[in-house]
A and B are shown apart, each in its own frame.
Chain A
Amino acid sequence: MTLKKSLFAVAATGAMLLSSAVSADDKITIGVSYPTPTHAWAAGMNWHAEQAEKRLEALYPDVDLVLVNSPDPGAQASAIEDLVSVNQIDALVVLPFESEPLTDPVLNVKKTGALITVVDRGLSQPGIEDIYVAGNNPELGRVSAQYMKTRLKEGDNIVVLRGIPTLIDNERFDAFMAEIEGSGINVLDHKHANWNRDDGFEVMQDFLSRFPDIDAVWAQDDDIAIGVVAALKQAGRDGDGMFVVGGAGMKETIKSIMDGDELIPVDVLYPPSMIATAMDVTVNAFKSNGPVAGRYILGATLITPENAADFYFPDSPF
């Protein structure tokens, strides 16, 4: 094991020497590492990463983007090591599976002198990344609550369907509740629907049985919202100005917003395309004459019928 490790270290050092030699011939290699898509949002991210690869490589012939996805944190750590040793990357764009186990592997890449861009999930040690690109979870909650306030008046009732119990869910929910507070809108109850259509359907069915008067639903997520809408239609309570606010930016949802759906009139963006933003910024670090290092926190844009077309990607799986 130790022999293997030291052999690997020798190989890696060799690779590093090589990489400095290779960069002399002006080819910029950028590794892009993210989890294997196993749910719709991640599949969308995969699609956007592939699109950005095609676009950027066509734009800059001397840029080579290498996309790698990995099924678990261990595999991702190995994939990142391979990007350094095999592809001799000049920059790494990484959406870490989990913060803890990937901090060291990314730090090792940093030591080779490569530029580091971290997407969505931060590393557990500050200062490793040169560029950070992420969506804004608290803002997603806040924007949703602000929209609720424009549509509802004092004494109106809403129910909240939350995601999987995680930090992300808490950030969204706490910001939503903070913004709703003092508006006089009653949050009747909140339950976890695990970012899942089936759970969204069942939780909403139970909310409908339990509360005779619901004026709006915050579903937080487009998948949950689909379940919620099915439950509302089943119970025949989809009229009377009832509306559902989801989140993320699923293409079907955006399409129906474009078509003027009244049940889901808006959506709040938490885009899987943020990986493309990160790739753009990273390439710009080599191409732009302006500085690019820093933190890019994307807005949680409210998608309405007016701007929906800008966020509609019919070919994406999400």
Chain B
Amino acid sequence: MAETTAGETKNSRLRNFDFKTMGPAIALLILCIIGFSLNSAFLSEGNITNLLTRSAFIGIIAVGATFVITAGGIDLSVGSMAAVIAGIMIIVMNNAVETLGTGVATVLLGCGCSVILGLGAGWVNGFLTTKGKIEAFIVTLGTMGIFRSLVTYFADGGTLSLDFDLRGTYRPVYYEAFFGLPIPVWVFIIVSIAGWILLNRTAFGRYCTAIGSNEAVARYSAIKVDRIKTWTYVIQGLCVALATIIYVPRLGSASSSTGVLWELEAIAAVIIGGTVLKGGYGRIGGTILGALILTTIGNILNFTDMISNYLNGTMQGLIIIVAVWLQRADWGRKSSKE
């Protein structure tokens, strides 16, 4: 008898804990079970590798977005930023082929260029938001349009393609594996760990949370609010740059359709992961799971013909809402009262 009560308390505590923190993990697990039951090839090594590699783009960007959102901001420009960085990277590398050849030096030049552009674009977003005193939504809506039209302009409306020989040098960055995991996945892992440490183990992370929960109080507590907020956008820009560095070698091209809606996917990944949209609470681990969930939904929909193609968006929308509902609804409290 005593044992069962103990079991029940433990159980309810488990449930309480589970849904708040483990919600995204459970949602991902359920998705995987559904995927496997539809087709056992879902869990094949090839598919898992594809899934992880594909998640890397949105995942890396979403890690950056976690900082911005935790500090009470929003960045809508990331998809367009990725496109314009990819475009400029390709132009720079193509032009460098004559002087630097088609070797590693040119690729490194492109990557360096990407990082500088990412940091710069992030700083512009941050500066306009803090010093310019314009709402982040408006600033990044503006830069979203600017970046998107710039890539269209650079590509003359068409597609920018990387020099064919250079593609051979750069290609392994996306396609090669290192200890069984593709390089993009390694980058994703490193960015995630760095992000987790920065958010949870440093003063900077605590400042982000403090600013997000109450900016005025943070200011009175002598936190340099403007500087910290600008830094979150710079981190976001850096993450976009890293994602672009592993995106370009995949197809070696950039066009106006590159990175369309990535901003919304990144924000969705962050929120599914348990970060609060209005700021003040952020979870890197959840963000990573959120990115994986989003990619898995798309993957599963490609694995079945039971659902009409036209309803793909419906399924994605439903799963996003359910995943967030699982962790927000008062599951834990109700069961503990009973």
Which of chain A's residues have a CB closer than 8 A to the CB of B158? 37, 39-40, 43-44, 317-318
Q: A40-B157, A317-B158 given as contacts; is B298 within 8 A of A189 (CB)? A: no
Distance in angstroms from B258 CB to nearest chain A CB is 7
Residues 142-156 of B contacting A (Cβ, < 8 Å): 152, 155-156
Interface size class of B (residues with CB under 8 A): 20 to 34
Q: A201-B251, A203-B302 given as contacts; is B50 within 8 A of A40 (CB)? A: no
- Contact between B251 and A227 (Cβ–Cβ < 8 Å)? yes
Alpha-carbon distance A225/B231, docked complex (angstroms)? 41
- Contact between B41 and A230 (Cβ–Cβ < 8 Å)? no
Residues 175-226 of A contacting B (Cβ, < 8 Å): 189-192, 196-198, 201-203, 205-210, 212, 223, 226
Alpha-carbon distance A40/B257, docked complex (angstroms)? 10
Interface check A137, CB cutoff 8 A: no
Q: A190-B309, A191-B302, A206-B299 given as contacts; is B157 within 8 A of A38 (CB)? A: yes
B157, B161, B250, B312: the one contacting A39 at CB < 8 Å is B157
- Contact between A234 and B156 (Cβ–Cβ < 8 Å)? no
A46, A205, A207: the one contacting B157 at CB < 8 Å is A46
Q: A40-B158, A227-B251, A318-B158 given as contacts; is B312 within 8 A of A192 (CB)? A: yes
Interface check B21, CB cutoff 8 A: no
Interface check B54, CB cutoff 8 A: yes
Interface check B39, CB cutoff 8 A: yes
Distance in angstroms from B36 CB to nearest chain A CB is 12
Interface check B95, CB cutoff 8 A: no
Which of chain B's residues have a CB closer than 8 A to the CB of A165? 309-310
Q: B-facing mask of A253-269, CB < 8 A → 1, else 0? A: 00000000000000000
Chain B: which residue is nearest A190 at the CB level?
B309
- Contact between A192 and B302 (Cβ–Cβ < 8 Å)? no
Interface check A162, CB cutoff 8 A: yes
- Contact between A39 and B256 (Cβ–Cβ < 8 Å)? yes
Interface check B303, CB cutoff 8 A: yes
Residues 224-267 of A contacting B (Cβ, < 8 Å): 226-227, 230, 234-235, 252
Chain B: which residue is nearest A162 at the CB level?
B309
- DSSP class of A's interface residues: helix, strand, loop or mixed? helix
Which of chain B's residues have a CB closer than 8 A to the CB of A205? 50, 54
Interface check A42, CB cutoff 8 A: yes
Which of chain A's residues have a CB closer than 8 A to the CB of B302? 191, 202-203, 206-207, 210
Interface check B316, CB cutoff 8 A: no
Q: A-facing mask of B252-267, CB < 8 A → 1, else 0? A: 0101111000000000
- Contact between A209 and B251 (Cβ–Cβ < 8 Å)? no
Q: A190-B309, A206-B303, A234-B175 given as contacts; is B159 within 8 A of A40 (CB)? A: yes
Q: A-facing mask of B297-315, CB < 8 A → 1, else 0? A: 0110011010001101000
Which of chain B's residues have a CB closer than 8 A to the CB of A39? 157-158, 255-257
Interface check B47, CB cutoff 8 A: yes
Q: A40-B159, A205-B50 given as contacts; is B253 within 8 A of A197 (CB)? A: yes
- Contact between B309 and A192 (Cβ–Cβ < 8 Å)? yes
Alpha-carbon distance A191/B253, docked complex (angstroms)? 23
Instruction: Name which of A42, A189, A197 has the most chain B CB atoms within 10 A of its CB.
Output: A197
Q: A230-B250, A230-B251 given as contacts; is B156 within 8 A of A38 (CB)? A: no
- Provide a sorted-by-A list of 9 A–B residue pairs whose CB atoms are within 8 angstroms: A36-B157, A43-B158, A162-B309, A197-B251, A201-B250, A203-B302, A205-B54, A209-B44, A209-B303
Smallest CB-CB A-B distances: 4 pairs:
A43-B157, A37-B157, A317-B158, A206-B302
Binding site for A on B (CB under 8 A): 39, 41-42, 44, 46-47, 50, 54, 152, 155-159, 161, 175, 250-251, 253, 255-258, 298-299, 302-303, 305, 309-310, 312
